[in-house]
Amino acid sequence: MTGSSGSGDRGRARADLVIAGLGPAGRALAFRAATAGLEVTAVDPHPDRVWTATYAAWADELPGWLPSAAVAARVDAPWAWAVRAHRIPRPYRVLDTAALQRALSLDRIRVVPARAVAVGPDEVLLADGRRLAGRCVMDARGLPATPGRAQQTAFGLVVDAAAAAAALDGRDAWFMDWRRDNGTREGDVPSFLYAVPVGAGRVLLEETCLVGRPALALPELERRLRARLAGRGVPLSGTEPAEHVRFAVEGARRHRGGPAGFGARGGLMHPATGYAVATALSATDPVVAALRSGRAPDRVLWTPAARTVATLRAAGLRVLLGLGTADPAEFFEAFFALPVDRQRAYLSGRADPAGVAAAMWSLFGSLSPALRRTIVRSLV
Ligand SMILES: Cc1cc2nc3c(=O)[nH]c(=O)nc-3n(C[C@H](O)[C@H](O)[C@H](O)COP(=O)(O)OP(=O)(O)OC[C@H]3O[C@@H](n4cnc5c(N)ncnc54)[C@H](O)[C@@H]3O)c2cc1C
């Protein structure tokens, strides 16, 4: 149920928190802030839009308050294939998107179905001229996938587990399968197979362009996926639901004196992997605690450690973009050969710059001189 703002904020008490954008990040923050007793107003042009994307995360990234009903499938140890198969001893969770959305209830939130045209630190201006005032404003409007931005793209099909088995080679899930049996040749921009159970006896098989500027087009990814699945003997009926993925992985900017950002808009997306949902979910409570104690959310979101981590990961994005058409096998073989704690430090969390740097340094040190030169070139 969404409420309406009537004729605007005149005569209303200022909300404790105004949130622009009710995607996973904004909605999670609204829910947790309202649960903690804050007066929350949230604005989104389509607040009731039903989410359909398949969201997943490492189990250790998810906050304890997330109900287990929000998880559709559990994988104890997903696999990766670069030059050979690697078992990743780190539990992975595929979320039940509808249950997640329901769990982040908007019942105690004043929801304004409208578009924000200007978002300031204590006020949001709506397209119809109304203004929403708040003690604090958080900008969670996501990142538009504009052409100049590095993006992740993917094309997926949801198939029955029995049919998907041939693509999985007896494994529960492929976090990344970089084998070239997708109709590509050396010199083509590479893509990988992401294959995860999504509950109810179904598996998502998705051909993914990790990052590109520009990223691979969806028709090309669909061609590759179909070639791969045909080669592995996965029977398709033609009625499988499809998932289309395109989103920006870079572009979050903080303007001096502007509102604090949250979610993808606020720089909480990992630029080299595109994961952002779990980070936003787990960042809600520290932000709420900051608001309750009168501190600025940026004080908890952008500690010196978090800034350093973001800088290192932005370099990680440049490295990936710099690989271009180079075969990713050597790079990812080295990554998945790292101890899982190093992998975790690189992939997750925002408080351990030393761990991120150690992961990057170990990876770099184990690469061939040719690949190291490519990496250095992309960084300077
Ligand atoms: C198919 C797909 C699969 C994905 N899988 C994963 C995954 O497995 N794990 C993961 O971590 N990430 C995944 N992602 C990336 C995911 O999209 C982002 O991590 C996540 O959506 C970011 O959430 P957000 O709330 O910050 O932004 P968004 O989801 O972009 O939400 C932004 C919200 O702001 C609203 N808005 C926009 N403009 C305005 C405005 N002017 N005024 C008011 N409101 C506005 C929008 O309507 C929207 O509701 C996936 C993306 C796609 C497309």
Ligand 1 atom having least distance to the Cα of 22: 49
pLDDT on residue 258: 85
Which residues lie across from 212 on neighbouring strands? 151
pLDDT at position 13 over 90: no
Ligand 1 site, residue 115, Cβ cutoff 6 A: yes
Average pLDDT over residues 354-362: 98
Q: What is the pLDDT of residue 178?
A: 96
Cβ pair 195, 177 in contact under 8 A: yes
**Ligand 1 binding pocket includes 222 (Cβ within 6 Å):** no
- Strands 131-139 and 260-261, by their bridges, are parallel
Residue 7: per-residue pLDDT: 44
Is the CB of 43 within 6 Å of ligand 1?
yes
Mean pLDDT, rounded, for 294-321:
96
Give the ligand 1 atom nearest the CA of 53: 1
Nearest Cα to Cα of residue 141 among 273, 45, 2, 238? 45
Cβ(20) – ligand 1 distance below 6 Å: yes
Average pLDDT rounded to a whole number, residues 341-356? 98
Q: Is 79 in the pocket of ligand 1 (CB under 6 A)?
A: no
Q: Report the pLDDT value the prediction gives residue 8, as an integer from 0 to 100.
A: 53
| Ligand 1 and 338: CB distance under 6 A | no
What pLDDT is stored for residue 340 in this prediction?
Answer: 98
275 in contact with ligand 1, CB cutoff 6 A:
yes
pLDDT in tens, 149-176: 999 999 999 999 999 999 999 999 999 9
pLDDT at 6: 40
Domain ranges of the chain: 1-47+106-141+255-302, 51-102+144-250, 305-379
Arithmetic mean of pLDDT over the chain: 95
* Band of residue 11 on the pLDDT scale cut at 50, 70, 90: low
Cβ(29) to ligand 1 under 6 A?
Answer: no
Residues 29-43 have a mean pLDDT of 98
With a 6 Å cutoff on the Cβ, whether 247 touches ligand 1 is yes
State if residue 116 touches ligand 1 by the CB under 6 angstroms criterion. yes
Does ligand 1 come within 6 angstroms of the Cβ of 243? Answer: yes
Residue nearest to atom 31 of ligand 1 (CA): 23
Residue type, 194: Y
**Residue 357 pLDDT more than 60?**
yes
93 pLDDT exceeds 50?
yes
Does residue 300 carry a pLDDT above 70? yes
Which are the contacts of 119, defined by CB distance < 8 A and separation ≥ 6? 20, 125, 137, 139, 141, 258, 259
> Nearest residue CA, atom 18 of ligand 1?
276
Which of the following CATH numbers is that of domain 1-47+106-141+255-302: 3.40.50.11140, 3.50.50.60, 3.30.70.3280, 3.90.1150.110?
3.50.50.60
Q: Looking at the predicted structure, is the pLDDT value of residue 5 above 60?
A: no
Question: Is 51-102+144-250 the same fold as 1-47+106-141+255-302?
Answer: no
Read off the pLDDT of each residue in 56-83 and give the average, rounded to a whole number: 98
pLDDT for the residue 10: 55
pLDDT tens digit sequence for 244-292: 999 999 999 877 788 999 999 999 999 999 999 999 999 999 999 999 9
CATH number of 51-102+144-250: 3.30.9
Q: What is the pTM of this model?
A: 0.96
- Cβ of 156 below 6 Å from ligand 1: no
Q: Is the pLDDT of residue 118 over 80?
A: yes
- 24 C-alpha to ligand 1 centroid (Å): 6
285 Ramachandran zone, left/alpha/beta (phi>0; psi -120 to 50): alpha
pLDDT over 80 (residue 119): yes
> What are the two backbone dihedrals, phi and then psi, of residue 86, each rounded to the nearest 5 degrees?
-125, 130
Residue nearest to atom 53 of ligand 1 (CA): 245
Q: Which residues pair with 260 in a beta bridge?
A: 138
Pair 127, 78: CB distance under 8 Å = no
Cβ–Cβ under 8 Å, residues 218 and 157: no
Question: Ligand 1 within 6 A of 223 CB?
Answer: no
What band does 324 get if pLDDT is binned at 50, 70 and 90? confident
Given the CA of residue 154, which atom of ligand 1 is nearest to it? 1
Nearest ligand 1 atom, CA 46: 47
Ligand 1 centroid distance, CA of 258 (Å):
21
